[in-house]
């Protein structure tokens, strides 16, 4: 096999069916090899989108997401999506073209050191040659999926694609043995002595899909539960133990629950979303995960590191009969938060627009959210109905995430209703992907909350008693037309208009933009100051 054919063959064997990116001249042999292996190359409008689509594909399928970019500017563009895979914990392999050995250290067009570029935002970075290609592919496919999963970069020198190779591994890569040194007696003592424990469930638990294990545990041991944003959907929003989402809208109401606790138990809690010390009260912290987390040296934390089945076996040391569980208090706080939120649905702001979407979309819809003020509302109040899925970025939190995430969700779930909610700032970053939606006929509904500003920055400026500055995006209407790059635009500036636009968007099998012209004042009251 040639190097290009071998790479394509290995990706296909491991379940890869899409590669996302923008090619350069040296990419052509790889594109031909992908096509020959049965892998579709998805051309995006921006390389950052390619990285995000690889990230979300990996999340949804469990198969490594693959993206590709050319020299220099292609590599720097795609690095935004690759960083998301690192801090949102997704197995991704990013290929970039690199200069040949003879030109690598020369002054030449588009030439930078890709190894140094990708080193801080990947788990590993390699440069291929005819001798190491088999070992590197084996290593990359394994390493990107090992916990915590994340991206691996492989540089493709411009002149090696057609070299024939020996496909026998020369050295092989061994997985290191893992040894756990847990203070079991201290863990058991903390559990046995607790009367008001609180479960904090996070990204690792969601990634490991521990929903059944968590619900089974809560059936026998009633404990209040708070979750991080990317764990949304792991526990039904109407479950009697469910209190709410940390960090997002009105989460200060949750203080009434965790300030009463005598022990915080982290279940697959990844601080990349929200550091423990930002909210945990002055009580012991017991952290269950598959690897240790960093904490301040003075923190009162005990860590239990091991496979997830051992977490729940160990949690049986709680004295279920002695626990103080105030279901009415939890429900009361949850209801109070919902009441405050519902109080903002009588005019056309973000809360009202989201309520219409919640009412009209099928319960099993996939919703992607961009970064911005609206994400704080969605993260707390969007109801997954135990059937749907909410996809966001929180560890990386890059604006522009929502649209390519929705494209990847639709490609991997062609029968699903997929909706992206984005602010106008995030939309403008990825507006070119409307052409990609059109080209592949992906019937994504893109809902743009149009308020003409970077509202989250404006809100944070107000916390410092500063006037808004550097946040105005445009004046007038964002679209000012009923078509944008070949996609129909439905404008809504009222509750009735939003409902009509949503119903119409659901009735057609093609991409649609809903231009929701909202009053952003809700955000000032619903976003928690941090």
Give pLDDT tens digits for 76-90: 999 999 999 999 999
pLDDT band per the 50, 70, 90 thresholds, residue 109: confident
Q: What is the pLDDT of residue 103?
A: 77
Q: CA separation (Å) from 108 to 78, 103, 112, 381?
A: 21, 7, 9, 52
For 232, the 3-state DSSP assignment is coil
pLDDT value at 416 more than 70 = yes
The answer to the question of residue 178 being in a domain is: no
Strand partners, 49: none
Angle between helices 47-61 and 73-87 in degrees, nearest 10: 30
User: CA–CA separation, 329 vs 6, rounded Å?
Assistant: 60
Note whether 319 and 385 are same-domain residues. Answer: no
For 218, the 3-state DSSP assignment is helix
Q: Is 135 in contact with 169 (CB distance < 8 Å)?
A: yes
Q: What is the mean pLDDT of residues 91-111?
A: 89
Per-residue pLDDT tens digits for 261-316:
999 999 999 999 999 999 999 999 999 999 999 999 889 999 999 999 999 999 99
User: pTM of this prediction?
Assistant: 0.96
The answer to the question of residue 195 being in a domain is: yes
pLDDT value at 362 more than 70 = yes
Task: Kindly state the greatest CA–CA separation across the chain.
Answer: 72
Domain boundary among 332, 364, 383: 332
Note whether 249 and 356 are same-domain residues. Answer: no
Note whether 322 and 365 are same-domain residues. Answer: no
pLDDT band per the 50, 70, 90 thresholds, residue 19: very high
Closest CA to 158 of 219, 76, 98: 98
Note whether 462 and 360 are same-domain residues. Answer: yes
Q: What is the pLDDT of residue 178?
A: 57
Domain boundary among 277, 299, 332: 332
Q: What is the pLDDT of residue 304?
A: 97
Q: What is the pLDDT of residue 177?
A: 52
Per-residue pLDDT tens digits for 182-222:
999 999 999 999 999 999 999 999 999 999 999 999 999 99
Per-residue pLDDT tens digits for 368-402:
999 999 999 999 999 999 899 999 999 999 999 99
Q: What is the pLDDT of residue 167?
A: 73
pLDDT value at 413 more than 80 = yes
For residue 325, give both structure tokens: 């569980």
User: CA–CA separation, 20 vs 57, rounded Å?
Assistant: 10
User: CA–CA separation, 363 vs 387, rounded Å?
Assistant: 6
Note whether 318 and 428 are same-domain residues. Answer: no
Q: Count the helices and strands in the chain (H runs, E runs).
A: 20, 19
How many domains does the chain fold into? Answer: 3
Note whether 129 and 44 are same-domain residues. Answer: yes
- CATH number reported for the structural domain that contains residue 196 in this entry: 3.40.50.1220
Q: Is 283 in contact with 259 (CB distance < 8 Å)?
A: no
- Structural element, H or E, at residue 404: helix 402-412
Q: Is 230 in contact with 172 (CB distance < 8 Å)?
A: no
The answer to the question of residue 164 being in a domain is: no
Chain mean pLDDT for the chain: 95
Note whether 377 and 315 are same-domain residues. Answer: no
Note whether 8 and 152 are same-domain residues. Answer: yes
Q: What is the mean pLDDT of residues 447-465?
A: 96
Note whether 20 and 137 are same-domain residues. Answer: yes
**CB crowding 478-502: b at 16 or more within 10 Å, else e:** bbeeeebbebebbbbbebebbbebb
Q: What is the pLDDT of residue 298?
A: 86
Note whether 367 and 299 are same-domain residues. Answer: no
The answer to the question of residue 168 being in a domain is: no
Q: What is the pLDDT of residue 279?
A: 96
The answer to the question of residue 170 being in a domain is: no
pLDDT band per the 50, 70, 90 thresholds, residue 102: confident
Per-residue pLDDT tens digits for 217-245:
999 999 999 999 999 999 999 999 999 99
Torsion angle of the four alpha carbons 57, 60, 62, 66, in this order, in degrees rounded to the nearest 10: 0
- Please say whether the dihedral angle defined by the alpha carbons of residues 419, 424, 426 and 427, taken in this order, is positive or negative: positive
Q: What is the pLDDT of residue 369?
A: 98
Q: What is the pLDDT of residue 297?
A: 86
Note whether 368 and 328 are same-domain residues. Answer: no
The answer to the question of residue 165 being in a domain is: no
Q: What is the pLDDT of residue 170?
A: 54
Q: Is 274 in contact with 148 (CB distance < 8 Å)?
A: no
Q: Is 400 in contact with 348 (CB distance < 8 Å)?
A: no
The answer to the question of residue 415 being in a domain is: yes
End-to-end distance of the chain based on CA atoms, in angstroms? 56
If one counts every other C-beta atom within 10 angstroms of the C-beta of residue 218, the result is 18
- The edge-to-edge listing of strands for the beta sheet with 92-98 is 40-43, 18-21, 65-69, 92-98, 151-157, 124-127
Share of the chain above pLDDT 90, in %: 92
Note whether 132 and 195 are same-domain residues. Answer: no
If one counts every other C-beta atom within 10 angstroms of the C-beta of residue 340, the result is 15
- CATH number reported for the structural domain that contains residue 364 in this entry: 3.40.50.970
- What range defines the domain where residue 126 resides? 3-157
Closest CA to 254 of 274, 234, 268: 274
Give the contacts of 61 (CB within 8 A, at least 6 positions apart).
15, 412
Domain boundary among 307, 332, 357: 332
For 9, the 3-state DSSP assignment is helix
Strand partners, 446: 420, 513
The answer to the question of residue 166 being in a domain is: no
pLDDT band per the 50, 70, 90 thresholds, residue 530: confident
């Amino acid at each position: 096999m040639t190097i290009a054919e071998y790479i394509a063959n290995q990706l296909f064997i491991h379940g890869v069916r899409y590669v996302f990116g923008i090619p350069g001249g040296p990419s052509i042999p790889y594109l031909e090899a992908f096509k020959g292996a049965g892998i579709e190359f998805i051309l995006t409008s921006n390389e950052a989108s390619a990285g995000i689509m690889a990230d979300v594909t990996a999340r949804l399928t469990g198969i490594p997401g693959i993206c590709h970019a050319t020299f220099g500017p292609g590599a720097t563009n795609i690095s935004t999506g690759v960083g998301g895979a690192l801090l949102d914990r997704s197995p991704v392999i990013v290929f970039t073209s690199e200069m040949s050995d003879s030109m690598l250290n020369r002054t030449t067009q588009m030439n930078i050191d890709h190894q140094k570029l990708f080193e801080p935002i990947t788990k590993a970075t390699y440069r291929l040659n005819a001798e190491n290609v088999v070992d590197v592919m084996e290593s990359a496919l394994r390493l990107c999926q090992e916990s915590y999963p994340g991206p691996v970069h492989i540089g493709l020198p411009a002149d090696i694609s057609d070299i024939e190779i020996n496909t026998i591994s020369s050295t092989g890569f061994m997985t290191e043995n893992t040894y756990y040194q847990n203070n079991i007696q201290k863990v058991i003592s903390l559990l046995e002595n607790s009367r008001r424990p609180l479960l904090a469930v996070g990204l690792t638990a969601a990634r490991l899909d521990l929903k059944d294990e968590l619900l089974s545990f809560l059936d026998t041991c009633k404990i209040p539960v708070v979750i991080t944003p990317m764990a949304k959907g792991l526990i039904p929003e109407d479950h009697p133990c469910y209190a709410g989402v940390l960090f997002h809208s009105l989460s200060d109401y949750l203080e009434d629950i965790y300030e009463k606790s005598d022990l915080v138990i982290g279940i697959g809690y990844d601080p990349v979303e929200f550091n423990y010390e930002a909210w945990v009260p002055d009580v012991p912290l017991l952290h269950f995960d598959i690897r240790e987390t960093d904490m301040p040296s003075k923190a009162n934390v005990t860590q239990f590191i091991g496979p997830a089945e051992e977490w729940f076996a160990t949690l049986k040391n709680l004295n279920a009969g002695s626990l103080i569980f105030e279901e009415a208090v939890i429900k009361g706080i949850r209801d109070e938060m919902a009441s405050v939120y519902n109080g903002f649905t009588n005019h056309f702001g973000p809360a009202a627009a989201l309520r219409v979407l919640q009412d009209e979309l099928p319960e099993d819809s996939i919703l992607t959210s961009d970064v911005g003020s609206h994400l704080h509302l969605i993260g707390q109040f969007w109801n997954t109905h135990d059937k749907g899925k909410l996809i966001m970025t929180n560890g990386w939190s890059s604006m522009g995430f929502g649209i390519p995430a929705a494209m990847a969700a639709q490609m991997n779930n062609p029968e699903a209703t997929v909706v992206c909610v984005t602010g106008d700032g995030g939309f403008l970053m990825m507006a070119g992907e409307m052409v990609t939606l059109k080209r592949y006929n992906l019937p994504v509904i893109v809902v743009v909350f149009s308020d003409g500003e970077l509202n989250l920055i404006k809100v944070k400026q107000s916390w410092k008693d500063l006037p808004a500055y550097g946040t105005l995006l445009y004046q007038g209407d964002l679209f000012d037309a009923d078509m944008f790059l070949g996609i129909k635009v439905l404008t809504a500036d009222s509750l009735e208009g939003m409902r009509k636009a949503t119903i119409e968007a659901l009735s057609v099998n093609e991409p649609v933009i809903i231009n929701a012209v909202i009053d952003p004042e809700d955000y000032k009251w619903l976003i928690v100051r941090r």
